Amino acid sequence: MVWIQTYWTLSFVYVSIYLLLIHLGQRWMQSRRAFELRTALAIWSLSLAVFSVLSTCRILPQLLAEVQQLGFEHTVCDRSFFKENLIFSFWSWYFAMSKVVELGDTAFIILRKQKLVLLHWYHHVTVLLYTWFSTQELVPTSRWFILMNFIVHSAMYSYYAFKAMKFKIPRSVAMMITTAQLLQMVGGLYVNWWAHNALTSGRVCGTGVWNIRLSISMYASYWLLFAHLFYNSYLKKAVREKSA
């Protein structure tokens, strides 16, 4: 935690390198055939799925117990847990580092010559920057953001792993995962609303107004992008199939 607090601005370096590699990678692949990389993708996705599941299993019980004992607002506004709760500090550090590792997702898209959509790289870039910035500020709301991300990624990366292994998965599963991502964004907006309400009501809250506004902007933009994806992937196709 201390290392990220000290060197959180390195996230801008990682993002700059990431965006440069996207540009160079796409140019390099223009005259080359797509790589299959199914085995590598399966191992990659399964590793991230296991990491997300383990993290969820460690964080979820503690956070729910704290809500029951001290109330929801305590989990949103009190930052003492960063020093007192060593388990969460441990997993939140790994969460922040995992945002750098997850940039590797894009390598598979480029090397397999798949379409790189705005949602993918925009989400990776902004989540990394916000996570490292919030870690150095010890933002209390991040507890819920981290937990929700781990829960959704447990399902998402498991799905990617099974798809890479050529398992036949019903289309409804992908729809449910996208729905979960939309609900995650709603959850993020709700947590931010609660923290903002606490501040404007004069109650003590360790999450700053500027951070709340930044987070709300991010979650709102994610919701719009995922909603657009949901419409194009499921609703629009369903309408076309019915009309055909």
- pLDDT for the residue numbered 242: 57
For 49-59, b where at least 16 C-beta lie within 10 A, e where not — what string? bebbbebbeeb
DSSP 231: I
Whole-prediction pTM = 0.93
Identify the burial level of 212 via C-beta atoms within 10 angstroms of its C-beta, where 0-12 means exposed, 13-18 middle and 19 or more buried: buried
Distance of alpha carbon 171 from alpha carbon 174, whole angstroms: 5
pLDDT digits (tens, 9 = 90+) for 191-208: 999 999 999 999 999 999
Residue 132 near residue 96 (C-beta atoms within 8 A): yes
Q: In this structure, are residues 130 and 214 in contact, taking their beta carbons and an 8 Å threshold?
A: yes
Burial of 9 (0-12, 13-18, 19+ CB in 10 A): exposed
d(CA 168, CA 171): 9
Q: Reduced to 3 states, what is the DSSP secondary structure of residue 192? A: helix
pLDDT tens-digit profile of 174-190? Answer: 999 999 999 999 999 99
What is the per-residue pLDDT for 150? 98
Please name the residues in contact with 107: beta carbons below 8 A apart, sequence gap of 6 or more.
21, 25
pLDDT tens sequence across 112-131: 999 999 999 999 999 999 99
pLDDT digits (tens, 9 = 90+) for 25-79: 999 999 999 999 999 999 999 999 999 999 999 999 999 999 999 999 999 999 8
Q: What share of the chain is helix, strand, coil (3-state, %, to 5)?
A: 85, 0, 15
Per-residue pLDDT at 238? 61
pLDDT tens across 222-233, in order? 999 999 999 999
Q: Which of 23, 74, 120, 123 is catalytic?
A: 123
Known active-site residue 74: no
The CA-atom distances, in angstroms, between 154 and each of 102, 123, 135, 162, 239 are 13, 17, 22, 12, 31
pLDDT digits (tens, 9 = 90+) for 93-118: 999 999 999 999 999 999 999 999 99
Token pair for 184: 């995650």
The number of residues making up the chain comes to 244
| φ, ψ (nearest 5 deg) of residue 72 | -65, -40
In a 10 Å sphere around its CB, with 0-12 CB exposed, 13-18 middle and 19+ buried, how is residue 181 labelled?
buried
For the chain, the domain total comes to 1
> Which domain, by its residues, includes 9?
1-243
| Residue 129: closest CA among 205, 16, 3, 6 | 16
